[in-house]
Amino acid sequence: MLAQYDLSALKNEMRREELSGRPATMWRYHELLPVRTPQSVQSLGEGMTPLLPAPRLAPKGLKQTAQVFVKDEGQNPTGSFKARGMSAAVSRAFELGVRGVITPTAGNAGAAMSAYAARAGLPAYVTAPEDAPQACIKQAHLYGAEVELLAGLISDAGRLATERAIQRGLFNVATLREPYRVEGKKTMGLELAEQLGWRLPTAIIYPAGGGTGVVGMWKAFSELYSLGWLTESPLPRMIVVQAEGCAPLVQAWNQGSTEATPWPSDQATTQAAGLRVPSAIGDRLILQAIRESAGTALSVSDEEMKQMVHYAAQQEGMLISLEAAATLAAYHRLLANNSLSADDEVVLFFTGSGLADLGLPG
């Protein structure tokens, strides 16, 4: 289920230049978001995160010239890009008059939903694996959510959320179970185009768990073409990175298949909680975006992610989460094997702040 807009009407009514005077949040694109009444919008200032040039993130020796940029999603409310999806989903749920909202989470989604539910005055319920990052669980508690932990993975938390949603009459905003979160995530793609002066980079590297960020951005680009807001710019190569310990999309990509086989739950091991997702619900759409854009999918180890957390902190003063660090590890790998060159304009999606990981061992 994906939201559709009357893009041909909008094409006649609106010019992209009108955006420049609007507030610096993702709601500047409200015509392309699923909320009808402005009073329903629950905003904490999410989106319009900076697109930062970061040449020193390239491997030493290349750093003077590398065309590498960071979309710094750690600057969103609650510290991750999950704020975008939850701002959209909770706003729309509020507009529809729901009694409360529920989500399963690996960490960040629960924190984000709870914050927006508090803002909207709606009850919030979160289900999570007991090893989800403490900082995220604590945030959800502080925002007043009821949190239920269980032994198992995000997929088990998902089943529990489905049950609790029915029992308690709550609106379930689990990944791709409703069409609104992906609309919020779509704004990452809209912003990228606007921030680059209405063109797109050569490549985007994104750390995929459920993969809705990729699905959302791909949808954004297609809407921008339909609106005539992106004209000559070619599409970027969509590059997906996962953790070696849980890489269902990478496996599917390497096998040339159009859908992903779920990773065996008992073998899903990575400290990058956002990537500990054994089955990506949007697998077909993600694999299609990679294929259509001549992108690729690759996995990196937790050890490489940790090294890159240090590298980003020391080279550019950026404190990033393990998931974000995976994009940097992938960038280095793809430069080393000549899949990318230093002249390629590459955008790394630093999806979350390193603050959430400070409590992790190691």
Ligand X SMILES: *Cc1c(COP(=O)(O)O)cnc(C)c1O
Site string for ligand X, 105-124 (x = CB under 6 A): ---x----------------
Comparison of 114 and 351: residue with beta carbon closer to ligand X: 351
Helix (H) or strand (E) holding 314, with range, is helix 302-316
Indicate the Cα dihedral angle 95, 96, 97, 100, nearest 10°.
-100
* Amino acid at position 339, single letter: S
**Region from 152-160, 209-217, 241-249, 261-269 binding ligand X, contact rule CB under 6 A:** 209-217
Query: Angle at CA 216, nearest 5°, toward 214 and 222?
Result: 105
Q: In the complex with ligand X, which residue's Cβ is closer, 226 or 307?
A: 307
Q: Say whether residue 276 binds ligand X (CB under 6 A).
A: no
Pairing of strands 51-53, 68-72: antiparallel
Question: Quick one: 55 or 152, whose CB is closer to ligand X?
Answer: 152
**326: how many CB neighbours lie within 10 A of its CB?**
34
Contact range with ligand X by CB under 6 A, out of 95-103, 205-213, 224-232, 331-339: 205-213
The residue range among 29-37, 144-152, 201-209, 303-311 that interacts with ligand X, by the rule CB under 6 A, is 201-209
| Binds ligand X (CB under 6 A): choice among 212, 270, 299, 327 | 212
- CB atoms closer than 10 angstroms to residue 61: 8
Token representation of residue 193: 């185009």
Q: Which is nearer to ligand X, 227 or 326 (CB)?
A: 326
User: Any residues with CB less than 8 A from the CB of 225 and at least 6 apart, and which?
Assistant: none
- Exactly one of 210, 236, 248, 278 binds ligand X (CB under 6 A); that residue is 210
Which x/- pattern over 159-198 shows residues binding ligand X (rule: CB under 6 A)?
Answer: ----------------------------------------
Q: Give the strand order in the sheet containing 203-207.
A: 51-53, 68-72, 346-350, 203-207, 237-243, 296-300
Q: Which parts of 9-68 interact with ligand X (CB under 6 A)?
A: none
Q: Edge-to-edge, what's the strand order for the sheet holding 146-150? A: 146-150, 124-129, 101-104, 171-172
Q: What is the CA radius of gyration of the chain?
A: 19
- Residue 211 binds ligand X (CB under 6 A): yes
Footprint of ligand X (CB under 6 A): 80, 82, 108, 207-213, 274, 321, 323, 351-352
